Amino acid sequence: MYRVLVVDDDSDLRLTVASALSENHFQVDQASDGEEAVNRVRAGKYDLVLLDVNMPRLSGLEALKEIKAHDPSIIALILTAFANVRDAVEATKQGAYNYLEKPIKADNLVYMVEKALKANKMVKDIAMSSPIIKMPGGTEFVGQSVEMKKVFSVIDKLSRVETAVLIRGESGTGKELVASALHHNSPRKDNRFVTINCSAIPETLIESEFFGHEKGAFTGADQRKIGKFQYADGGTLFLDEMGDISMAMQVKLLRALQEKKFTPIGSNREIEVNVRIIAATNRNLEEMIKKNEFREDLFYRLNVLPIQLPPLRDRKSDIEHLSKYFIEKFNTQHRKNITGISADAMEAMKAHQWPGNIRELENVIEHAFVIETADEITSESLPETVLAAARAKGLTLGKVLPAAAFGAEASASELDDGDADIALSVANGALNLGEGLDESGFKLDFTKLDFQANKEEFEKRFLISALKAFNGRINQTALHANIPKKTLLRKLEKYGIVAKDFTE
């Protein structure tokens, strides 16, 4: 809803204007002189101001100057008696959009206000527009910040060339999304986009994953296998988590990249391929090179065109757009109709540092989405990890509900196999480690019926509860929750959970 401020010392006129606009679904506030107007504009967010010219304390023209200095995107319409049209013309020179002659006619007023808002939106859209990045079905690449606009225009340029690209950025910043955008906007888009997650594949299998093997090439190779290099022929090969690849494999990879040829394990035939390489990492490759953990020649081969993704905390203006996008996405997925985010919740979200970046934001919104009972997401459904920064800043937040308010509702009979295990354990409290640990509860999300998503949700809640119980201490948590420390750390990173947030 657009917010409008009506400024006039004539209270009758204010009332007429305000009621005509309210009837047409504008949110209207009033001010009786220029000074009050300026104060209100500084305190709140207005899309449009209707300004009388002759007023006590501060005239309309002076107020206009200050309003525009505060926020040039606010539209000003001048209200003027016929005799003062000259002032109004002067006002348009100073940035007012147009003027309305008194007496004000309701139809004309609403028409002018709507027209001004529409024109303003068009100008804004054009100024804000970035190259159109096409994404594969259902996904969208959101970003209005200056930082992301730069990324979009780099993607736009790099999608048209064949050179290798190295995407860098913290966990959850959207590296995979960029890789997919590069492919889907390139001339290779009708061929395959193939991903190798270099950190997930055991060392013994990685060479075969890349280059394939002949039947009987090694113990266990009972079938011939085509490697991903060959599978991606004509398309794009995305080497995700590139920093995790072993030195031995780096040598072989470099050779394949240089010669565009490779030999499957156990074969004596070289295969030539035409693939475009995109690599991503969240590790500091320069440091790794110094420590002899990453080959410098491979680095230079891949780093011809680097894309650096900014962390979310450095582009907080995107939080609002991303939240809106995720809410729309989850509205469809969960068949709910959440209309937005409350002001205090948004403030808390802007105060938070988002160590897990967009993935963390997406998870937080989905979690809030599932438990929220109001029409919009309120601070009550945000996790404590997100609210901590807002509390430290002394922001006023709605009361936080104890998480136990949404207890386990899983019925094992509604699920099968793996799901049932989790459901049963949750329902029986078997996974609770002791007092205080079960407070988060876990509600299975049957609207989604997606095992992976529910499992991840459970893991997240479990880890948060365990950390709370052991005061954010990693070693203790790992010990008592019976989870290897390494796995615990990896999972915390995956979900953007910061152990220190739970230290009292």
Ligand X SMILES: Nc1ncnc2c1ncn2[C@@H]1O[C@H](COP(=O)(O)OP(=O)(O)OP(=O)(O)O)[C@@H](O)[C@H]1O
CA distance 183 to 232: 12
Nearest to 202 by CA among 215, 214, 220: 220
**Given the DSSP bridges, would you call strands 340-341 and 236-240 parallel, antiparallel or unpaired?**
unpaired
What's phi and psi for 294, nearest 5 deg?
-140, 135
Least separation in angstroms between residue 335's CB and ligand X is 20
Torsion angle of C-alpha atoms 240, 245, 248, 250, degrees rounded to 10: 40
Nearest to 183 by CA among 316, 324, 281, 280: 280
Among 34, 169, 311, 496, binds ligand X (CB under 6 A): 169
| CA 207 to chain CA mean position, Å | 35
Helix 451-469 and helix 485-495, axial crossing angle in degrees, nearest 10: 110
Question: Per CB under 5 A, does 493 bind Mg ion?
Answer: no
**CA pair distance 497, 504, nearest whole angstrom:** 16
Minimum distance from residue 173 beta carbon to ligand X (Å): 4
d(CA 143, CA 122): 18
Q: Are 102 and 84 in contact (CB under 8 A)?
A: no
Beta bridge partners, 426, equal none
Q: Of these partners, Mg ion, ligand X, none, which one is at the site of residue 169 (CB under 5 to 8 Å by kind)?
A: ligand X
Region from 87-95, 173-181, 230-238, 415-423 binding ligand X, contact rule CB under 6 A = 173-181
What is the rounded distance in angstroms from the CA atom of residue 22 to the CA atom of residue 5?
11
**# chain residues binding Mg ion, by CB under 5 A:** 2
**Site track for Mg ion across 137-176, x = CB under 5 A:** --------------------------------------xx
How many C-beta atoms surround the C-beta of residue 381 within 10 A? 24
46 contacts ligand X (rule: CB under 6 A): no
The listed partner (ligand X, Mg ion, none) that binds 212, CB under 5 to 8 Å by sort, is none
Neighbours of 389 (CB within 10 A): 17
Q: Give 14 or 175: the residue with its C-beta nearer to Mg ion.
A: 175
CB closer to ligand X out of 184 and 213: 184
| Contact partner, 10, from Mg ion, ligand X, none, Cβ < 5-8 Å per class | none
Nearest CA to 172 out of 354, 432, 30, 418 is that of 354
- Give the one entry of Mg ion, ligand X, none that residue 344 binds, where binding means its C-beta sits below a cut-off of 5 to 8 angstroms depending on kind: none
Q: 236: part of which helix (H) or strand (E)?
A: strand 236-240
Position 172 contacts ligand X (CB under 6 A): yes
Distance of closest approach, residue 446 Cβ to ligand X, in angstroms: 22
Out of 186, 236, 282, 342, point to the residue binding ligand X (CB under 6 A): 282
Please state the closest distance from residue 86 (CB atom) to ligand X, in A.
50
With CB under 6 A as the contact rule, the residue among 159, 173, 208, 465 that binds ligand X is 173
Exactly one of 49, 61, 63, 175 binds ligand X (CB under 6 A); that residue is 175
278, 111 contact by CB (below 8 A): no
- Residue 243 binding partner per list ligand X, Mg ion, none, with a CB distance cut-off of 5 to 8 Å that depends on partner kind: none
- Nearer Cβ to Mg ion (84/282): 282
CB of 497 to Mg ion, least distance (A): 17
String of contacts with ligand X for each residue 116-155, x by CB under 6 A: ------------------------xxxx------------
> Is position 355 an interface residue for ligand X (rule: CB under 6 A)?
no
Residues that bind ligand X (CB under 6 A): 140-143, 169, 171-177, 282, 322, 325, 358-359, 362
